[in-house]
Amino acid sequence: MPTDLSRKRVVVTGGAGFLGRVVCEKLQARGCKAVLVPRRRDFDLTRAEGVERMYEQMRPEVVLHLAAEVGGIGANQANPGRYFFANMAMALHLIEAARERDLEKFVQVGTICAYPKHTPVPFREDDLWIGYPEETNAPYGVAKKAAMVMLEGYRQQYGLAGAYVLPVNLYGPHDNFDLESSHVIPALIRKCVNAQQSGDDHIVCWGTGAVSREFLYVDDAAEGILRAAEVMDEPTPINLGTGSEITIRDLVTLIAQLTGFKGEIRWDSSRPDGQPRRCLDTTRAKERLGWQAEVGFEEGLRRTIEWWRANAAVNA
C-alpha cells in the first residue's frame, strides 16, 4: 500500500533550501502536519553526533534526504574533497541511524552527476555503472551514488525501506543566483539581467556552448520525490527529468531573449564545458511513480526570471 505521508512525522533535510522548501509546501498541501526541517546551525548532519540529536529530538517516521553541498563547475573544481566528504558523511550517518531506529522509509535524492561521463543518450538507470563520472563533479557524484549502494545493502540485510531518485539539473524561483557557486540557469539569468540594467554591450559565458543539458522545474522535481516516498519501498534508481535537451549556446540565446538582453555573447573556451550531453530516459518514473514533468521549459524560465527581477536587490 502507498505510504500516506499526511499521517507521518516527516524530516526533510535541506528543507529550507531551493528544492526543499517546495517539497515542504507540497507535504503540507497533502495534509502532513509534522514537517520537520533540521537547520545546519542546530544539527551538523556530516557528524554522527548531529544526526543522533536530530533523530532523538524530531523522532521522524520518514526521512527525505535532500541536503547536499554542491555548486556549479567552478565550485566543484574548488571543493572536490569537501563535496565528497560532506555528501558521503551525511548519507552514511543518516542511513545508519535510520536502521538503528527502524525508520519506516528513507528517501535519498541523488544526482545526475553520478552518471558516467560518456553515458549513451538518453541516460538510462541501468547505465549508472558503465564508467566513471565527468571529472569536474566526480567526487560529488560518486558520494551520492555510494548512498544508493548503502540503501540497497540496508534493504537486503536489514529490511530498511527506501527510495532513490536522480533529478536532472533543476531551476526555478529561490535558486542560488551567486555567480561564484550557482548552476548555469541562475548564473545566466543574473548575467543577462545585470548587463541589461547596466547597459553593458556583452556578457561572457564559460566553455564553448556546444554541450547539452536537460533541465527540470523545481516544482516538478518536488512532486517526483514525494511520489517516490509514497510508492517506492526499495531504492531502485529512478530518473526525474523531461526527456529533452538543449545546448548551452541555445540556452544562452533563449535566456537573453526572455530577459531582453540584446548585447554580444562571448565564449571563454579556456573554461571547462563539463559532461558532453545530459538527457534522461524517464520511462521508469512514468511506470513506477506515475509521474512526468508538467511545467514547460520557457514557462519555467519566465517564472524564474520574474522571481529574480523581483528579488534581485534582496539576494544580491
- Residues carrying an active site annotation: 140
> Parallel, antiparallel, or unpaired for β 169-171 and 215-217?
parallel
Total count of residues recorded for the chain: 316
Instruction: Give the C-alpha distances (Å, rounded to integers) separating 57 from 43, 51, 63, 94, 128.
Output: 11, 10, 14, 14, 36
The alpha carbon dihedral of 162, 167, 172, 175 has a sign of: positive
Cell numbers for 282, please give them.
524517464
Distance (Å, whole) CA 43 – CA 47 = 9
Q: How far apart are CA 231 and CA 84, in angstroms?
A: 30
Check residue 244 and report its DSSP letter.
Answer: -
Cα 6 to Cα 16: distance, rounded to the nearest angstrom: 20
Q: Are the C-beta atoms of 61 and 8 separated by less than 8 Å?
A: yes
User: In 3-state terms, what secondary structure has residue 65?
Assistant: strand
For residue 191, which of 265, 111, 292, 104 has the smallest C-alpha distance? Answer: 265
